[in-house]
Amino acid sequence: MINLVLFGKPGAGKGTQAAFLKSKYQLFHISTGDLFRYHIQGSTKLGILAKSYMDNGELVPDDVTINMLKVAVAENSDVKGFIFDGFPRTTAQAKALDVFLSEKLMSITATVALEAEDDVLVERLINRGKTSGRSDDQNETKIRNRFVEYNNKTAPLKTFYTAQGKFHSVSGIGGVEEITQHLIELIDGLL
């Protein structure tokens, strides 16, 4: 099994790259952001709760997010591996993921951070907001708050996964295909 974690600030290109990696390595793609948006669309209890955080550019609480992730993994146990996009985003989530995967005799193969500067990301997100309709992409204050959340809560995962020898990073600047190529070279080198 190959289990990849893609992380990076909002707008770094996680979703875009996950779509390519998913077909290249035949992985099942789980995006917690997409799952939350699906729940919001369906006006489920989880969706209503998640929306109150997402609208402010804040992370959804760990317990809710972790449970949702576990359900998504359990529902798709018959796959060659997973690509986790936007999860884990906190140390508590990373620890919960390790425990949960080991219970299933699975583990993280590698984590890859897509790196790009804030100003480039703000521009990308504002552009995405014009067509995606995502309210969290239409307001610079909300966007900047997501960066603050990232720096405070997600950036420490670099230390967490480096300690496990599983942290890698790739530049998220450049053409989509070029970045995919760099990711593939990195992942192939690890397999």
Q: By CB under 6 A, is residue 10 in contact with ligand ADP? A: yes
Residue 60 binds to ligand ADP (criterion: CB under 6 A): yes
The answer to whether residue 144 is catalytic is no
Stretch that binds ligand ADP, among 28-36, 38-46, 106-114, 173-181 (CB under 6 A): 28-36
**Which amino acid, residue 94?**
A
Instruction: Single out the residue of 109, 103, 129, 149 nearest to residue 21, CA to CA.
Output: 109
Q: Is 51 in the site for ligand ADP (CB under 6 A)?
A: no
Token pair recorded at residue 103 = 């219970």
Q: Does 180 bind ligand ADP (CB under 6 A)?
A: no
Taking the complex as a whole, how short is the minimal distance between the CB of residue 191 and ligand ADP, in angstroms?
Answer: 26
Q: Which of 9, 14, 51, 142 is catalytic?
A: 14
Stretch that binds ligand ADP, among 17-25, 56-64, 72-80, 109-117 (CB under 6 A): 56-64
Residue 124 falls in the annotated catalytic set:
no
Q: Which residues contact 167 (CB under 8 A, 6 or more apart)?
A: 111, 113, 158, 161
Check if 37 is active-site: no
Using the rule CB under 6 A, is 111 a contact of ligand ADP? no
Alpha-carbon separation of residue 90 from 58, 87, 180 (angstroms): 12, 8, 25
- CB nearer to ligand ADP: give 5 or 189: 5
Distance CA 12, CA 120 (A): 9
**Least distance CB 149 / ligand ADP (angstroms):** 7
Catalytic residues: 14, 89, 128, 134, 146
Q: What residues line the site for ligand ADP (CB under 6 A)?
A: 10-11, 32-33, 36, 53-54, 57-60, 65, 86-87, 89, 93, 136, 146
